[in-house]
Amino acid sequence: MSRPLHELGVVEARELLQRREVNARELAAAVLRRVEEVEPRVRAYITVTADLALQQAAEADARLARAEGGLLTGVPVCVKDVLCTAGVRTTAGSRILEGFVPPYDAHVYRRLRAEGAVMVGKGNMDEFAMGSSTENSAYFPTRNPWDLDRVPGGSSGGSAASIVAGEALASVGSDTGGSIRQPASLCGLVGLKPTYGRVSRFGLIAFASSLDQVGPFAMTVRDAARMLRVIAGYDPRDSTSIDRPVPDYEAALGDDLRGLRMGVPREYFVEGMEPGVREAVLRAVGMSGELGAVVDREVSLPSTDHALAVYYILAPSEASSNLARYDGVKYGYSFQAGGSMWEEMEQTRGRGFGDEVKRRIMLGTYALSAGYYDAYYLKAQKVRTRIRHEFEAAFERCDVLVAPTSPTVAFPIGSRVDDPLAMYLSDVCTIPVNIAGLPGVSIPCGFSDGLPVGLQVIGRPFDEATVLRVAYALEQALGVAGRRPAL
């Protein structure tokens, strides 16, 4: 075999396992050795489940021996620590859940296991998914494998870094305002946010319930398509889950874009975008035309400038409601040395939540308070509707939209921690997609100063098949997919 086992892709590994050229236990052991080698430097995992991984790998080998394997049987994956896993601690990157062990599995994890995936561990993340750099983790920052002095993005930074570092073959994360696509861009891999309602949120620890969506990371579009097929589908336990067929996303992949209408929204080339990012994205857009797409550079989404403000009213408002459940009474961290129940609850939250979480709870509580609800929350909901309508109008003339994923490459650790606004601007290109509930994928489209640049492909609701088809065609033409740094 020409490559180390830990650098295999999902589909490639599954085929080797099927042909019995490698067994699942060997593959899991190789990945776990890689974790031991690089994890002290990368810090992608909050919890490594080595014994469980080897047990699940042995079960996968038994299934394969009986020719009963699923789509991911024997494939080692990382699971973001915001998804509940029965018997394995789930912290959401927060001290307030440091010792929490869920009694049930999230729907997505259950689907992964049903198809035979092997869990290597729980990926590090910004606390309660609130952040764009994984520096808000209550435990430690994750480092970008391309440059260990830079961030991997966030909030799913551990899920992204684990794959690029060879500590997993694929992973799942959550995306509330860009938390899959932005780290995919900064780490140089594929990250997909499905349509809101395409993947069940049952067992996902909530941040902002009208925006959160679970999705896959992988080194290639084909691998991401395989992962999405596994986790997508209706779940009656999630009231926002949509009951509609799940296509065979891999079958939809192809390198022909002839006749496809591609829009390039001019508002996404924001002020402050790094020149190297702009050049790489525009080069990919030009490649689309060479592949036969009809490129429309006059598409406009005029309310894009307001998306960041809308998000930072709606998301904190929902967070202030969702996080009210953490009171130290039923589970999680509990301060019990106070003079009254109210003092203990106040101390539990004061000690258990980090600064960024407290900041957003206060923002949301203020926006929902009497006298300010109409001025902030209600107005933000109205602008959200306008943003969604502008996307609908754009998709009347285009099949997909393409844009930068992040206005910058990975930035140095510590460079934005004292400037929340600068940190929030990291998601300026991804947030509108969440507000409108659309599918979007980030793929590597080049490098700037030796660091990856991501291109975002945005589609109509539940048209992930077209989004992936475009992403796959560009991936094949650009020839930068699958590159890994030397660690």
The whole-angstrom distance between residue 248's C-alpha and the CA centroid of its chain comes to: 21
426: annotated active-site residue: no
Q: How far is CA 261 from the centre of its chain?
A: 27
Could you tell me if 83 and 106 are in contact, meaning their C-beta atoms sit under 8 angstroms apart?
yes
Q: Name which of 5, 2, 158, 8 is nearest 91 in CA terms.
A: 158
Instruction: Tally the residues of the chain.
Output: 487
Whole-angstrom distance, CA of residue 409 vs CA of residue 414:
15
Look up residue 380 and give its amino acid: A
For 80, other C-beta atoms within 10 Å of its C-beta total 33
Dihedral sign computed on CA atoms, order 361, 367, 368, 372: positive
118 neighbors 56 (Cβ within 8 angstroms): yes
Would you call 200 a catalytic residue per the annotation? no
Q: Which residues pair with 440 in a beta bridge?
A: 193, 458
| Active-site hit among 94, 132, 133, 155 | 155
Distance separating alpha carbons of residues 90 and 97, to the nearest angstrom: 7
Rounded Cα–Cα distance for residues 154 and 98 (Å): 20
Q: Which of 94, 179, 317, 320 is catalytic?
A: 179
- Exposure string for 6-31, b = 16+ CB within 10 A, e = fewer: bbbbbbbbbebbeeeebbbbebbbbb
Q: List 48's β-bridge partners, or say none.
A: 121
Q: Supply the Cα-derived Rg of the chain in whole angstroms.
A: 21
Residue 80 appears among annotated catalytic residues:
yes
Tokens of 433: 């997609």
Residues catalogued as catalytic: 80, 155, 179
